[in-house]
Amino acid sequence: MASSDLSVLLSMGFAQERAELAVKNTGGLHGAIEWLEQNQDKSLEEIQAAFSHENDPNAEPPALQPGEAAKSLVCNECGKRFRSQAQAEFHASKTEHVDFAESTEEIVPLTEEEKKARLEELRLKLAEKRAGLSEQDKEDKKRNEAIRRKSTKETQDIKEDLRKKEQLKEAAAKRREKQEEIAAKDRIKAKIAADKEARRLKTEKEKAEREGRVPESVPAAAPVPTSSGPVASKPASAYTETRLRLQTSSGTIQKSFSVDTTLFEVAAAVSQDAGTEVQTLTQNYPKKVYDHTDWGLTLKEAGLIPSAVLIAR
């Protein structure tokens, strides 16, 4: 009989261990259903722990003995009725209820129809409970997804803000480099014009000396205007930084260095940026090639201030 009750409980969807404990603790289908209802909110570990405290874990509440007078006991704390003293004691051991009273009402066994109705009711309760858990799982998933999306959006906003700031910094650096490049070109043009005028005056002076006459006085040339304003003379010792425009096989590199930076350090920096080893640095005007024998010179000692154009090879 116990095996058939167990089969019915298993067919209703109860877990194997819970169903076995229910049948073992009650000794019948009706009692097993009540036991499962009472313990449906308890974990299996809690049920097993409570069951292990019994003197005899395998003891089952005895059924009514043949010829025993029909009577019942009522638990005044929960209202449940029991057919025998043993069943009431078993209930007390499980629930710790101690207030019982005798009743003249006889507990009539459930009919087959009542059993089916009770089983159906229990199935509906189980279905509702599972549906509730399913809905809770859906809500949890929605909430977790909302949190994930919010976190992703915040991360994307931060990255976008950083990207815009980097673009602004790059644009400002390019504008500054362009202005410095224009100013450097203007200074070079002014220097070329001054050197050209100095050579002309020297040639005129030598010609006049050969002809035995005094060279005509030539008014000083007006300063060459540049896009950045008049070029003010400044002693080389006053500069602390020099601007280098370095032409490499992979493109042009513009960098600012301290005037005390050695040519070796400049070559190392260009090698790192260009990805190729630099053997020489060549200046076109005046023509000068710096190789490893000159690497110990500083930019100030090499006269590469306040700016210079070098070809890195």
d(CA 290, CA 296): 10
Q: What is the pLDDT of residue 224?
A: 47
Tell me: the pLDDT tens digits for 150-199?
888 888 889 888 888 888 888 888 888 888 999 999 999 999 999 999 99
3-state secondary structure of 49: helix
Q: What sign for the dihedral angle of Cα 20, 26, 29, 30?
A: negative
Strand partners for 170: none
Is residue 220 scored above 70 in pLDDT? no
| Sheet-wide strand order for 81-82 | 81-82, 72-75, 100-103
Tell me: the pLDDT tens digits for 253-294?
888 999 889 989 988 888 888 888 888 999 987 788 999 888
The residue ranking higher by pLDDT, 187 or 63, is 187
Q: What is the pLDDT of residue 229?
A: 47
| Mean pLDDT, the chain, whole residue set | 79
**C-alpha to C-alpha distances, 301 to 90, 276, 298, nearest whole angstrom:** 105, 26, 5
**Where residue 27 falls among pLDDT bands split at 50, 70, 90?**
low
Of the ranges 60-74, 100-114, 192-206, which is most confident? 192-206
**C-alpha to C-alpha distances, 143 to 134, 135, 146, 155, nearest whole angstrom:** 14, 12, 5, 18
Strand partners for 254: 245
> Among 120-124, 152-156, 221-225, 249-253, which is the least confidently predicted range?
221-225
Q: What is the pLDDT of residue 56?
A: 47
Is residue 79 scored above 80 in pLDDT? no
d(CA 254, CA 243): 7
3-state secondary structure of 284: coil
